[in-house]
């Protein structure tokens, strides 16, 4: 999935490397800069740091809205698997 929205070869390489602080969160369709403090916090990126292309709009709010519409607690452990990645907003279901 991420290959479809990668803006340049350098970003693709960085996202695929576990040693780089740039991350892609598929369920929200967000790119971010990981805060290297041992936690999972990120600073959302709106543009590619290498080529300058604007990233797709985040779907974070839509993710929470969709779960609420289906009466699913977003903080529960039993969220359907399709909500763990891009499947809930794409045609790859």
Whether the predicted model's global pTM rises above the 0.85 cut: no
Q: Given pLDDT bands bounded at 50, 70 and 90, which one contains residue 17?
A: confident
Which tops the pLDDT comparison, 93 or 86?
86
Band of the pLDDT at 39, cuts 50, 70, 90? Answer: confident
| SS percent in the chain: helix, strand, coil, step 5 | 30, 15, 55
Q: What is the mean pLDDT of residues 20-47?
A: 91
């Amino acid at each position: 999935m991420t290959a479809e929205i990668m803006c340049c070869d350098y970003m693709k390489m960085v996202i695929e490397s576990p040693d780089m602080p740039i991350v892609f969160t598929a369920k929200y369709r967000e790119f971010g800069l990981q805060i290297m403090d041992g936690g999972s916090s990120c600073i959302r990126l709106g543009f590619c740091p290498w080529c300058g292309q604007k990233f797709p709009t985040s779907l974070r709010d839509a993710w929470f809205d969709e779960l609420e519409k289906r009466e699913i607690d977003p903080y529960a452990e039993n969220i359907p698997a399709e909500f763990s990645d891009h499947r809930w907003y794409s045609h790859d279901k």
